[in-house]
Homo-oligomer: A and B are copies of this chain.
Amino acid sequence: MRTHELVLGWIEQQLSSGELVLGGRLPGERTMAEQLQVSRTSVREAVRILEAMGVVRAGVGSGKDAGTIVIAEPGSALGSTLRLHVATRHLPVADIVETRVLLESWAAARAQPGVPELYEAAELLDQMDAAPDVDTFLGLDARFHVALAQAAGNAVVSAMMASLRGAIENYASELTGNLPDWNATSGRLRAEHRAILAAVNANDGRKAADLVAAHIRGFYTEAGVGSASTQD
């Protein structure tokens, strides 16, 4: 085992045992290096990897705010990994799109009316009606889909769903610039979002799942990303 992997293993063990908890601080670089008898370089490499995995945020401040904090951001970390594997052509964009359809239609079918995430989703739709530009719109759009996925109550599905969107975000946002008529597209997307949310609130899981599947496939098809199959 290489020395930075030894550090990673030790930190994972500290997390598993509960010695180190969410929001807690990692020991300082020098302390860990001395305790594990490895170089400070190896400690720093391990911390960089944990940062990339969304497990810690490296310290930037000084005084009582200094230090490396344990966080829980698996979605963006999984998204970076998927994005790199899309870049190597190992993961086809069309497979990313279909997996999004699978996870989001599952979540839409299981979201429970009345949970707080659905109120947040409704609020986001109101903000989208007033979004001043495409980037603001797409940012709110992403948050709407995450809120809907979270309403199903499965943290792994939520994290994976967010990662899939993140993995091909660049492709989609490059292409939204080329859409023939953004006002028409955004009007359609807003109407589709409202119909999806209405079906969830009416406890019609089947309809919500079908609507969200058509919504996702339609968006990527119009943006020219992937060639979403229709076998689902």
Contact = CB atoms under 8 A, between A and B. Distances in A.
A172 B65 CA distance: 38
Interface string A98-116: 1100110010001000000
B85 A74 contact: yes
Contacts of A178: none
A181 B106 CA distance: 36
A53 B84 contact: yes
Given A41-B41, A44-B45, A88 B22 contact: yes
A183 B141 CA distance: 52
For the complex of A and B, list the 10 residue pairs with the smallest distance between their C-beta atoms, beginning with the closest. Answer: A72-B90, A15-B87, A95-B156, A99-B156, A53-B81, A74-B85, A49-B52, A16-B87, A95-B154, A45-B48
Interface of A: 4, 12, 15-16, 21-22, 41, 44-45, 48-50, 52-55, 70, 72, 74, 77-78, 80-85, 87-92, 95-96, 98-99, 102-103, 106, 110, 154-157, 159-160, 164, 231
Given A45-B45, A72-B85, A77-B81, 11 more contacts: A4-B48, A12-B83, A15-B87, A45-B48, A49-B49, A53-B80, A72-B88, A74-B91, A90-B155, A95-B156, A99-B154
17 contacts: A12-B83, A16-B87, A22-B90, A45-B45, A49-B52, A54-B81, A54-B85, A55-B88, A74-B81, A74-B90, A74-B91, A78-B82, A81-B81, A90-B155, A95-B154, A98-B157, A99-B157
